[in-house]
């Protein structure tokens, strides 16, 4: 059985509004994420889920609101700062580095921690080599964890979709994030792949205590694995609570369950 300690609020999203041109993608969204929990954001297509994630890790800059991460209040994030302070993410549409092997893709997740300079790299001097080998070993643990040993040196483009998703997860995991944002990690997968992915998500949460924020529109999966759920619809928050609370919320049922499922 899973026995975990849910901690204090680690990420607090306050009153975020985002618009593109005239289109309002998010309107005054607020929610918090506690340390070590699995937090889901659900909603029908176009509800603003991905936009929300993009605001959290600085890909988009909301016009209003602020983001508090580990006590640090920011008007908006920038991607690098987000990565540096421990926010990792995966992508809905695979955003792997197509020209690189599985190993190299995951190695890029360690780039933040690799500091040796160009000259040392070019000459493959002691520190550069030592750093490379050290990070390789770390990445091997990620590969082992995700059970993709057999594909280590395969170019990612040649892998089936489900495995590519796993590599994407591995790349984010390699950065040892405190909070991991998962953008529809199970989209486009078959049942078995979904189960595998669920297991990995829970294992990550268990083994490393990583806080997880995930977007899904597969309700079943979300309800099974998350501690608390935020429901978005047309850029507005319409529900927030435990899976059971959300499931029984009349407004959620009306806006989400009633319409598309």
Q: Does 91 bind other proteins (CB under 8 A)?
A: yes
Distances (CA, A) of 210 to 15, 45, 159, 189: 25, 27, 27, 23
**CB of 93 or CB of 250, closer to other proteins:** 93
CB 206 within 8 A of CB 19: no
- State in angstroms the smallest separation of the CB of 157 from other proteins: 10
Binding mask 197-226 for other proteins (x = CB under 8 A): ------x--xx-------------------
Binding mask 22-51 for other proteins (x = CB under 8 A): ----------------------------x-
Among 26, 29, 38, 82, binds other proteins (CB under 8 A): 82
Among 52, 57, 197, 238, binds other proteins (CB under 8 A): 57
- State in angstroms the smallest separation of the CB of 158 from other proteins: 12
Distance CA 223, CA 227 (A): 8
What 8-state DSSP symbol labels residue 34?
Answer: E
Among 11, 38, 107, 255, binds other proteins (CB under 8 A): 107
DSSP string of 111-156? Answer: GGG----HHHHHHT-HHHHHHHHHHHHHHHHHHHHHT-GGGTTSBG
**CB of 13 or CB of 56, closer to other proteins:** 56
Distances (CA, A) of 178 to 17, 119, 139, 210, 225: 25, 32, 17, 5, 18
Distances (CA, A) of 228 to 6, 53, 96, 97, 144: 11, 16, 29, 32, 29
What 8-state DSSP symbol labels residue 101?
Answer: B
Name the residues that contact other proteins, by CB under 8 A: 1-4, 20, 50, 54, 57, 59-61, 79-80, 82-84, 88-89, 91, 95-100, 103-104, 107-112, 114, 116, 118, 121-124, 128-129, 131-133, 135-137, 140-141, 143-145, 147, 149-150, 152, 171-172, 175, 203, 206-207
């Amino acid at each position: 059985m899973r026995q975990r300690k849910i901690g204090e609020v680690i990420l607090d999203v306050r009153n975020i509004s985002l618009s593109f041109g005239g289109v309002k993608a998010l309107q005054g969204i607020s929610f918090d994420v506690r340390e070590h929990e699995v937090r889901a954001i659900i909603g029908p297509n176009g509800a603003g889920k991905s936009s929300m994630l993009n605001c959290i890790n600085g890909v988009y800059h909301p016009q209003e609101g602020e983001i508090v991460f580990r006590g640090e209040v920011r008007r908006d994030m920038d991607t690098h700062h987000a990565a540096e302070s421990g926010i990792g993410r995966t992508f809905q549409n695979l955003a792997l580095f197509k020209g690189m092997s599985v190993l190299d893709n995951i190695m890029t997740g360690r780039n933040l921690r690799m500091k040796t300079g160009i000259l040392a790299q070019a000459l493959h001097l002691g520190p550069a080599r030592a750093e490379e080998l050290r990070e390789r070993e770390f990445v091997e643990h990620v590969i082992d964890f995700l059970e993709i040993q057999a594909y280590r040196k395969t170019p990612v483009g040649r892998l089936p979709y489900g495995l590519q998703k796993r590599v994407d997860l591995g790349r984010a995991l390699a950065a040892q994030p405190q909070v991991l944002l998962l953008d529809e990690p199970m989209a486009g997968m078959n049942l078995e792949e979904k189960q595998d992915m669920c297991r990995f998500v829970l294992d990550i949460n268990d083994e490393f205590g990583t806080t997880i924020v995930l977007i899904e529109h597969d309700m079943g999966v979300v309800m099974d694995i998350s501690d608390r759920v935020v429901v978005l619809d047309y850029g507005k928050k319409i529900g927030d609570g435990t899976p059971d609370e959300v499931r029984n919320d009349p407004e959620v049922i009306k806006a989400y369950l009633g319409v598309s499922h």
